Amino acid sequence: MSILLREYYGNSRLSARQILSDPVLFLAFGFGSGLSKFMPGTFGTAAAIPLYLLLVQTGSVVYGLATLAAIVGGVAICSRAADKLRVHDFGGIVWDEIAGFLVTMLGVAFSWQSLLAGFALFRLLDILKPWPIKWLDRHVDGGLGIMLDDIAAGAVACLILHYWF
């Protein structure tokens, strides 16, 4: 048994190999980053950084469309993953963190400082879940519920970054 990975995931008791070989679960688990026993949300957010670095070079229209696709597709991905795991919002489902980080950085001029600040702000808001983020987390179910609190955390972080940078 690894100190970094769980033996089984969810009430379906899926193995890491099963998760990595299933396209929906592979995406839901943030390309494998959500397999971590410790801080899967932080690892999921870190997995978003290479995607962000790629998208930030494409311009605002492509970045915005890709972020929208990550959100809309994420509702289905997270819903199907929760069904497969038989657990609503299992900690290893981190696609919501990936989409939330993309929202955080929406329209923010790239710099290493803004990237680090965005990462820290998004994680802080996602962990603390101030109102209305906590309300969304508790009152919206399904794939939309899994996604919505992270999208809200990303939107708040984005507003703060636009004011700050």
User: Residues 22-40: pLDDT tens digits?
Assistant: 999 999 999 999 999 899 9
* 11 is a domain residue: no
pTM above 0.85, yes or no: yes
pLDDT tens string 64-108: 999 999 999 999 999 999 999 999 889 999 999 999 999 999 999
pLDDT, residue 126, reads 94
How far CA 41 is from CA of 33, 100, 103, 124, 164, in Å, comes to 8, 11, 15, 11, 24
Residues forming a β-bridge with 36: 5
% residues pLDDT > 70 (the chain):
98
* 6 is a domain residue: no
pLDDT, residue 3, reads 65
* 50 is a domain residue: yes
Q: How many domains does the chain have?
A: 1
pLDDT, residue 45, reads 98
* 76 is a domain residue: yes
* 30 is a domain residue: yes
Range of the domain at 33: 16-164
Closest CA to 99 of 164, 160, 58, 158: 158
* 94 is a domain residue: yes
* 3 is a domain residue: no
